[in-house]
Structure 1
Amino acid sequence: MSRGRRYGLVMAVDRLPAADPDDSRDQLGAALAALRPLVAAQSGAWAAAGGESSGDGVLGVHPPVRAGAAALGASLLRSLCHHQPGDFPGGWFDSYLAVNRRVAAAVAASASASATVWTHGHQLQLLPRVLRRMRPDLTVVMHLHTTFPPAESFARLPEHRALLSGLLGADVIALPHQRAVDNLLDLADRVHGLPVREGRITLGHRGVRVVAYPLPADIAGARRLAGLAPVRAGGGRIRAAMRVSGTVLLSVAGWDPADAVEQRLHAFERFLATHRPAPGEVALLHVACGDPRTPAEDAQRQRVDRLIAKINGTHASVGQAVVHYVRAEPDRRDLTALYLACDGILVTPSHHGTVAAAHEFIAARGELGASVVVSELTSGVADLPGALAVNPHDTGAFADAIASAAGRHGPAPRARHADTPPALDSWAEHLMTLVRARGAAVPATPERRTRRLSTGAHTRHTRPGGYEVGGPPLAARRVSGR
């Protein structure tokens, strides 16, 4: 990176994405990696909270001494957004704020006049506000791919005022679905008394536009990878190693309890107890991705380990497991090979999420056909005609859906796409157009006074380290076709 260079677009993210989307370890990483050509075409730069070394198009950000505490805080915030309790350690906010300040300083020093800053990730929720105070000329979009919790859950966090103030420093906040949007608007309106109208939050002379804008599934990428000979060979090897003559169902998840892995396993155990398939007739392949990042996730790993051992101890035979358990971090090629090796997939989070993995599974399988069980609590279930939608907390209904996907009630239903999601590049370009229009600015409504995000009408609430919070900005059913 040349000294003194200025950028019209800066991507501020939790971590730098892989140079090749196929090397990514999750959907988010693949999406951000797919944006690299867009950023390069606009001569943009990247800034990462993880403190990756600077280079061509990468801004140098030196992480603070306790950067690990900030990363833990971000993981706990993600868990909170997934309706999971989080025990935040003392002092986490100081390190969290320090990371945001350092990223903001790097961006402010390198962004050109009136540049656009795309901020992404829970580790940078304070960045829009910090950056606005440094560079009010910048246009900022805050993008979170995970849901936003109900106001009652978020407001329990002592630092909720600071976090909301940080978010509202943006011009546009993009969330994954309308329920998340409604939750954020409710927090601003009912808890903090900010004027809210038609998806906009008014703060003094300006407004913040809040939109539902989920990451699309990479259908084109899944189809492309499924056609590669090495990937198809990898899928064949996986299938041969399991030695299953019938149906293999796939489960891929991290350690977040909201992924409902335990519910999947309990439902599969109920299916085995009810239908008693012979070992080798039906199997579940569960791939646990990454390492636990919070105490709740570590406890989840221990429960999953015990539950899988119990199921195999009860229903497996010598040399033939019924639950094949792998801890791995598959890249996009490995994941597509898993798709090709399996007949169906369970995409059943216990919270309001998305079904991108189901779309990619269907795309990769192509003419092979795909059985899909999804949570009825997720977004976009109607976009998957032929999928089996269940409440993941209803073990009996979930087990019955697994039986249908395994062909125990007749031919297994095949899921398909109702519509083709947009390509990642066009998705990103549309969001950039929305941001640059700066349609967030609206006049303050005369009938309602903006409340300061503070502890009292005349109190300026300050977090340790001088971060000012107060003051203006702040039963199974088949999915039918359309």
Structure 2
Amino acid sequence: MSRGRRYGLVVATDRLPAADPDDSRDHVDAALAALRPLVANRSGAWAPAGGEGPGDGVLGVRSPARAGAAALGASLLRSLCHHQPADFPSNWFDGYLTVNRRVAAAVTASASASATVWTHGHQLQLLPRLLRRMRPDLAVVTHLHSTFPPAESFARLPEHRALLSGLLGADVIALPHQRAVDNLLDLAERVHGLPVRQGRITLGHRGVRVIAYPLPADTGGARRLARLPAVRAAGGRIRDAMRVTGTVLLSVAGWDPADAVEQRLHAFERFLAEHRPAPGEVALLHVACGDPRTPAEDAQRQRVDRLIAKINGTHASVGQAVVHYVRAEPDRRDLAALYLACEGMLVTPTHHGTVTTAHEFIAARGDLGATVVVSELTSRAAELPGAIAVNPHDPGAFADAIAQATGRFGPAPRAHTAAAATALDGWAEHLLTTARPPGSLVPVVLERRARPLSGGARARHTRPGGYEVGGPPLAARRVVGR
């Protein structure tokens, strides 16, 4: 990076995405990697919070001593957004605040006048307000790919006022679906008394737009990868190694309990008990991605390990598993090979707002046909015509859905995408244009409300005040009982 260079677009993220989208490890990383041409075309720069060194188009952000606590805090925030238990350690916020301040210093020192800043991820929720106080000329777009929890859940966190203050420094906040938008607007209006009208939160003389704008599936990339000879050969090897004559169902998930992996396994176990297919006739291939990042995720890994061992111990035969279990970090090429190796896929999250892997699975298989079981809690029927929708919390109905997907009740239905998916580069370009011209500086100060949250919440304890997010100390934080 040349000394003193200024950028009209800066993308601040928790990490640098892969240089090649095909090397990405998840759909979020793929989306960020797809931003690289856009950033390059606009002569922009990246500001990673992960401590990567400076380079061409990369701002140097020195990682603080407690960066691990900040990263853990981001993971716990993600869990909280997915309605999962999140036990935050007492020292997480200090490191989290330091990371945000260091990213803010790097961005404000390198952004040109009236530049646009895109902030992404739970690790940088304080960044928009820091930027607004330091550089009110900047237009800030904040994107969170995870859902936003109900006000009662979010307000249990002692630092929720600081986090909301941070987000409201943006001009536009993009969330994955309308329910998440409604939750954030409810938190701002009902709990903190901020004026809300038509998706806009008013703060003094400026407003913050909150919109539903999910990450699109990279269906074009999935189709392209599925046509590569090396990927097709890899898919054939995977299929041959399983030695299954009938249907193989694919399950790909991390360790977030909201992915409902345990529900999938219990339903598959019930399907095996009720329909008794011979080993080698039907199988489930479960790919567990990455490592657990929180205590709740580590506990789920142990439960999943035991449950898969139990299912195979009960229903498998010598040399023929019924659940093929792989712990891996597949890149986009690996995923395309897995898509080609399996006829069906279980995509049944309980709290996510999108099912991008289902769209990519259908696109990759093309004329081969794809059967998909989705969660009726997170998917709309119009999104995936022909998909089998089920409540993942209903094991009997879920087992029946698996039976339908494996052809026990007649030919398995084929799913397809209702409309052409938005290209990732077009998606990003449109989001950037939603940022209104920045207004005058108005500090974000959230009023303390005497009225308790609904649901009979009780006060639990109060942490000392004094955290500063680019300005005066915020009000003392009152924890609402869990």
TM over 0.5: yes
Q: Aligned equivalents of 1:69 and 1:158: distance in 2?
A: 16
Whether 1:100 aligns to 2:93 is: no
Partner of 1:232: 232
Cα pair 2:169 2:444 within 8 Å, conserved: no
Question: Retained in 2: the 8 A contact 1:128–1:170?
Answer: yes
Change (3 A) 1:456 1:217: closer
Displacement, 1:340? 0.1
Please give the residue correspondences for 1:99-178 in structure 2 after superposition, counting only pairs within 5 Å: 99-178=99-178
**Residues 273, 59 of structure 1: alpha-carbon distance in 2 compared, 3 angstrom cutoff:** same
Q: CA deviation at 1:465?
A: 5.7
Write the letter of the residue equivalent to 1:453: L
Contact 2:75–2:294 under 8 Å retained in 1 = yes
In structure 1, the partner of 2:446 is: 453
List per-residue Cα deviations over 1:153-184 (Å, max 9, x = no partner).
00011100000000000000000000000000
User: Which consecutive aligned stretches of 4+ in structure 1 deviate over 6 angstroms post-superposition?
Assistant: none
1:336 aligns with 2:329: no
CA distance in 1, matches of 2:87, 2:335: 33
1:328-351 Cα distance to aligned partner (Å, 9 max, x none): 000000000000000000000011
CA distance in 1: counterparts of 2:401 and 2:368, whole angstroms: 20
Q: Which amino acid is 2:394 matched to?
A: D
The match for 1:23 is: 23
Shifted more, 45-54 versus 461-470: the winner is 461-470
Asked if the contact 1:208–1:441 (Cα under 8 Å) also holds between the matched residues in 2, the reply is no
Amino acid in structure 1 at the alignment position of 2:253: A
TM-score, normalised to structure 1's length? 0.93
Question: Corresponding residue for 1:69?
Answer: 69
Contact 2:162 2:469 in 1 (8 A): no
Indicate conservation of the 8 Å contact 2:222/2:364, yes or no. Answer: yes
Question: 1:451–1:125: structure 2 CA closer, same or farther, 3 Å change rule?
Answer: closer
What is the CA–CA distance in structure 1 between the aligned matches of 2:352 and 2:27, rounded to whole Å?
Answer: 17
Partner of 1:80: 80
Corresponding residue of 2:181: 181
Q: Work out whether 1:412 is the aligned partner of 2:412.
A: yes
* Native 8 Å contact 2:12 2:46 kept in 1: yes
Counterpart secondary structure, 2:264: helix
Please give the alpha-carbon distance, in whole angstroms, between the structure 1 residues aligned to 2:380 and 2:45: 33
Normalised to the residue count of structure 2, the TM-score between the two structures is: 0.93
Q: How many residues align?
A: 461
Counterpart residue number, 1:356: 356
The offset of 1:425, in angstroms, is: 0.7
Q: Is the 8 A contact 1:108 1:131 kept in 2?
A: yes
- Contact 1:165–1:469, Cα closer than 8 Å, also in 2: no
Q: Per-residue displacement from partner, 1:226-271 (whole Å, max 9, x unpaired)? A: 0000000000000000000000000000000111000000000000
Deviation per residue, 1:375-397 (Å, 9 max, x gap): 01114442100000011000000
Structure 2: distance between partners of 1:161 and 1:469: 11
Per-residue deviation at 1:85? 1.2
Q: Please state whether the residue corresponding to 2:377 is helix, strand or coil.
A: coil
CA contact (8 A) 1:454 1:469 kept: no
Task: Give deviations 1:294-334, integer Å, cap 9, x for gaps.
Answer: 00000000000000000000000000000000000000000
Flag the 1:14–1:383 CA change in 2: closer, same or farther, 3 A.
same
Which secondary structure state, in structure 2, belongs to the residue aligned with residue 383 of structure 1?
coil
Q: Secondary structure at the match of 1:12?
A: strand
Is the 8 Å Cα contact of residues 146 and 176 (structure 2) preserved in structure 1?
yes
5+ residue gaps, structure 1, are: 445-449, 472-482
Q: What is residue 321 of structure 2 aligned with on the other side?
A: 321
Q: Which residue of 1 aligns with 2:461?
A: none
Q: Determine helix, strand or coil for the equivalent of 2:3.
A: coil
The 8 Å contact of residues 250 and 346 in structure 1, kept in 2 or not, is answered as: yes
- The residue that corresponds to 1:377 in the other structure is 377
Q: Percent identity?
A: 82
Q: Structure 2: how far apart are the matches of 1:310 and 1:441?
A: 60
Task: Report the counterpart of residue 263 of structure 1 in structure 2.
Answer: 263
User: For residues 432 and 88 of structure 2, what CA distance do their matches in structure 1 show?
Assistant: 34
Partner SS for 1:237: helix
CA distance in 1, matches of 2:130, 2:444: 20
Aligned to 2:211: 211
Tell me, yes or no, if the aligned pair for 1:374 and 1:381 is still in contact at 8 Å. Answer: no
CA RMSD of aligned residues (A): 1.8
Cα separation, 1, equivalents of 2:34 and 2:311: 40
Name the aligned partner's letter for residue 79 of structure 1. Answer: S
Q: Give distance in 2, aligned partners of 1:110 and 1:290.
A: 34
Matched-pair contact (CA < 8 Å) for 1:248–1:342: yes
| C-alpha deviation, 1:432, in angstroms | 1.1
Native 8 Å contact 1:145 1:175 kept in 2: yes
* Structure 1 position 198 matched with structure 2 position 198: yes
| Aligned residue type for 1:339 | Y
Per-residue deviation, 1:451? 9.7
